[in-house]
Amino acid sequence: MAFLSMLLVSAQAVSPMQERADAFLNIVNDSYKALYYVASQAQWDAATDVTPEHDAATEAAGKAMAAFTGNPSLIKTAKELLEHKDELTPITVRELQRVLLNAAEGPMTNPKLVAERVTAEAKQASVMNSFVFKLDDKPITANEIDDLLDSSRDLKKRQAVWEASKQSGPALKPGLVKLQGLRNGVARELGHPDYFSLQVASYGMTTDEMVKLQDDFMRELKPLYLQLHTWVKYELAKKYGQPVPKRIPAHWLNNRWSQNWTGLVEAANLDDRFKDKTPESIVKTAESFYTGLGFPPLPATFWTKSDLYPVSATDKRKKNTHASCWHLDLENDIRSLMSVQSNERWFETAHHELGHAYYFISYTRPEVPPLLRIGANPAFHEGMGELISLAASQVPYLQSLGILPADYKADPVAFLLNDALASSVPFIFWSSGTMTHWEADVYAKNLTPDQWNARWWQYVRDFQGVEPPTERGEEFCDAATKTHINDTPAYYYSYAIANVLKFQLHDTIARKILKQDPRSCSYAGNKEVGAFLRGIMEKGGTEDWRKVLRDATGEDLSTRAMVEYFKPLMTWLEKQNKGRQIGWE
């Protein structure tokens, strides 16, 4: 009885505007979910079995989806309802805003422009994917380029390989010039000033606010970066028998864009410890990490429908080798695409990808409408995966699994140094610095194409302290050699945010829940940690991300935890670098 009368009260409290919005959003959510499933299945087929037929099916399903999400009457109704915000519940407002953000990528109020963009995007992807790099006039794959940069100690050879890796730039520049205009045009159709602004709108931020946030990250991490930069340039000068440079020549580093500085700390390499693990056991161990925290087992269909292991080079079937995790129907059809092998990288990647899977599982509940089955912001999903990778690399966790012996004596500096260089700190100066600033200039400030390469290298020099082996003029377009510049534009700051976020969440878990040292801890089997993670993930996109973060950690987004995590490393570096010239100014 009590329950019934409560229902009556709440029914009376519903405003007519809310009723209208509910009816509208019921249809939108149902149709969105159905079309999303069809489009995801087509994409899944195309990613796990690359054929022209599957590509064509993906394009057709994508167009059907876009015809719905960008429908003019959908846009009109959502806008009208949002004019009566105060008569609607906060979740309804967020759903309507999401309808408009989805529409803004392909608003059918201007079908000609949208069609032009779709064609230009597809062409750019095809130029990029089919580009053949050449070294000494012989074709060389991207993997071979990376392997040579990992292994060669011959600077002449390194320079030739690095230069080969930049060959795709001029081929991609005309398409990117076209897309600069088309992407901005599409964004303006729904009132966003430019494409960069449309992307950061998912954070409820303006371009200037996002750029400032990224500059704050760099300002706070600069002392640590300068120490790392100095240590690395002295190490590399010694390795190559060269005088110590001011800036690091790009071809001295293993990564084509100097984004992660790998291969510098041999003592942190654990690959030998994984040699006798089967790929199957690696994925199962990752699942056990989550069930140990109190999460349910993965749905049975995860194991039957996923594509987890490499196909051999002689196999007729070709699959995408980039790891990913998919929520195909926005319900229980969750799959992962990986090529798991017996090494440390895949051990951490498996933990990372299942982080996405458990994010999907946590927010798939009646309280979260399909439109809001997303991360709290675009960085949260990635941040959660990264957090679990960090947890999976902790020595006490590896000891609890028997991967490292109980009496294993870790070299704490080696692990911190490798962590900082290979995945965290130089990455911020690349992502928050070069990538964010260059794309903000291209989209929000309409930087003209005759200045693209000069601006790119100005940012690499200023933010990263890296310089090209020789002058790079406007006949090159080195930015366009980066995949995400072409296919995930104006998004890269999300990786910087995810990186900062992971240290904040990890710090809260280690200190407040586990009461262990964040640099040496184990989440294994702790139900309180599971409840903490579920509390964030089960909200999906129903609340403002700033509130979700503050409720979880008690603080705003900041590098505080990251700086603290690396404090012992900072002390060590200052000792190593004593008497050395710090920085490049």
What torsion do the CA atoms of 368, 372, 376, 381 make, to the nearest 10 degrees? Answer: 100
Residue found under tokens 């294994």: 524
- From 103-111, 158-166, 337-345, 385-393, span contacting Zn ion (CB under 5 A): 385-393
- From 128-136, 137-145, 293-301, 374-382, span contacting Zn ion (CB under 5 A): 374-382
Residues with Cβ < 8 Å from 493, sequence gap 6 or more?
200, 210, 213, 214, 431, 432, 435, 436
Identity of the residue, 427 or 584, whose beta carbon is nearer to Zn ion in the bound complex? 427
Identity of the residue, 382 or 467, whose beta carbon is nearer to Zn ion in the bound complex? 382
What is the identity of the amino acid at 45?
A: D
Distance of CA 85 to the CA centre of its chain: 32
Identity of the residue, 344 or 382, whose beta carbon is nearer to Zn ion in the bound complex? 382
Q: Residue 203 to residues 188, 198, 210, 319, 360: CA-CA distances in angstroms? A: 18, 10, 9, 33, 20
Least Å distance between CB 528 and Zn ion?
25
Least Å distance between CB 381 and Zn ion?
7
Contact call for residues 569 and 418 (beta carbons, < 8 A): no
Identity of the residue, 62 or 385, whose beta carbon is nearer to Zn ion in the bound complex? 385
- From 45-53, 377-385, 412-420, 574-582, span contacting Zn ion (CB under 5 A): 377-385
What torsion do the CA atoms of 230, 231, 236, 242 make, to the nearest 10 degrees? Answer: 60
Q: Which secondary-structure segment (H or E) carries 467?
A: strand 466-467
Instruction: Please tell me the distance from the alpha carbon of residue 331 to that of residue 33, in angstroms, as a whole number.
Output: 9
Least Å distance between CB 352 and Zn ion?
6
Instruction: Please tell me the distance from the alpha carbon of residue 324 to that of residue 143, in angstroms, as a whole number.
Output: 19
Instruction: Please tell me the distance from the alpha carbon of residue 16 to that of residue 18, in angstroms, as a whole number.
Output: 5
- Beta-bridge partner residues of 138: 135
Residue 557 CB-half CA count within 13 A = 24
Least Å distance between CB 358 and Zn ion?
12
Least Å distance between CB 323 and Zn ion?
7
Return the DSSP state at 245: P
Least Å distance between CB 387 and Zn ion?
11
Least Å distance between CB 356 and Zn ion?
6
- From 70-78, 116-124, 155-163, 382-390, span contacting Zn ion (CB under 5 A): 382-390
Identity of the residue, 385 or 426, whose beta carbon is nearer to Zn ion in the bound complex? 385
Structure tokens at 93: 């407002």
- Using DSSP, state whether 287 is helix, strand or coil: helix
Least Å distance between CB 279 and Zn ion?
19
- Using DSSP, state whether 323 is helix, strand or coil: coil
Least Å distance between CB 498 and Zn ion?
8
Identity of the residue, 69 or 431, whose beta carbon is nearer to Zn ion in the bound complex? 431
Identity of the residue, 382 or 478, whose beta carbon is nearer to Zn ion in the bound complex? 382
**Nearest one of 293, 287, 278, 387 to 340, comparing CA atoms:** 278
Identity of the residue, 184 or 389, whose beta carbon is nearer to Zn ion in the bound complex? 389
Instruction: Please tell me the distance from the alpha carbon of residue 375 to that of residue 548, in angstroms, as a whole number.
Output: 11
- From 237-245, 282-290, 381-389, 479-487, span contacting Zn ion (CB under 5 A): 381-389
Q: How many residues bind Zn ion (CB under 5 A)?
A: 2
Instruction: Please tell me the distance from the alpha carbon of residue 289 to that of residue 351, in angstroms, as a whole number.
Output: 8
Least Å distance between CB 165 and Zn ion?
24
- Using DSSP, state whether 522 is helix, strand or coil: coil
Identity of the residue, 361 or 417, whose beta carbon is nearer to Zn ion in the bound complex? 361
- Beta-bridge partner residues of 337: 307, 324
Identity of the residue, 443 or 493, whose beta carbon is nearer to Zn ion in the bound complex? 493
Identity of the residue, 348 or 441, whose beta carbon is nearer to Zn ion in the bound complex? 348
- From 234-242, 309-317, 380-388, 396-404, span contacting Zn ion (CB under 5 A): 380-388
**Nearest one of 269, 266, 247, 265 to 573, comparing CA atoms:** 265
Identity of the residue, 385 or 489, whose beta carbon is nearer to Zn ion in the bound complex? 385
Contact call for residues 472 and 453 (beta carbons, < 8 A): yes
Least Å distance between CB 357 and Zn ion?
11
Told to check if 385 binds Zn ion by CB under 5 A, we report: yes
Least Å distance between CB 20 and Zn ion?
38
Identity of the residue, 169 or 385, whose beta carbon is nearer to Zn ion in the bound complex? 385
- From 246-254, 259-267, 277-285, 383-391, span contacting Zn ion (CB under 5 A): 383-391
Least Å distance between CB 322 and Zn ion?
10
Least Å distance between CB 384 and Zn ion?
9
What is the identity of the amino acid at 332?
A: N
Residue nearest to Zn ion (CB): 385
Identity of the residue, 386 or 419, whose beta carbon is nearer to Zn ion in the bound complex? 386
Contact call for residues 350 and 306 (beta carbons, < 8 A): no
What torsion do the CA atoms of 255, 261, 264, 268 make, to the nearest 10 degrees? Answer: -120
**φ, ψ of residue 45 in degrees (nearest 5):** -60, -40
Contact call for residues 581 and 243 (beta carbons, < 8 A): no
CB-based burial, 429-457: b 16+ in 10 Å, e otherwise: bbbbbbbbbbbbbbbbeebeeeebbebbb
Q: Which residues bind Zn ion (CB under 5 A)?
A: 382, 385
